[in-house]
Amino acid sequence: NASSRDETGGVRVRREDVRIKQFRQRTGLLVIFAVDASGSMALNRINNAKAAAISLLQSAYVHRDKIALIGFRRDRAEVILSPGGGVAKARRALESLPTGGRTPLSAALAEVYQLAGEKACNLHVAGTVLVLITDARSNQPLRSLPEGVDRREFAREEVERLAKQLRPRLAG
């Protein structure tokens, strides 16, 4: 229009004519898969759990999320795939995950707590999500069992305490 032209006939650009749209880089989430590989999950349950985890891993990959994988059985939980590992690595790790022994759910939650704190900060992710695949039959506590105390009850109380500590570190 005539009001936006200067004396020479050129176009005059005013401050209000300029619009800048800033794009924030999508950082994604840290998705921690904790898979129960104890004896009570053996056979059909573990195969179903692995299939579900692989499907969820593929979805996380599409959304540019960082992926970590924790397996837990016997008396420990271990990080099988560090955050940022690829879906193919996670799939191979899941498929070769050994099973058997007790259910150290407390150990898994303690490992998740570590990853959700230190790694999430280093990876600059928007938040942390836990995908916990278990039958919830926790029977292996982290701490030594006091004499005369029921193992399962002690492990259950430990899991509840750890879950409460973990909650603030996870994305809503």
- Nearest 5°: the CA angle 72, 57, 131 is 50
The stretches of 70-145 forming alpha helices (DSSP H) are: 87-95, 105-114, 120-123
pTM: 0.79
How confident is the prediction along the chain (172 residues), in pLDDT tens digits per residue?
A: 445 666 777 778 788 877 776 655 557 888 899 999 999 887 668 888 888 888 888 888 788 888 889 999 999 999 998 887 777 888 888 888 888 999 999 999 999 999 998 777 788 888 899 999 999 899 999 988 889 999 999 999 999 999 999 999 886 5
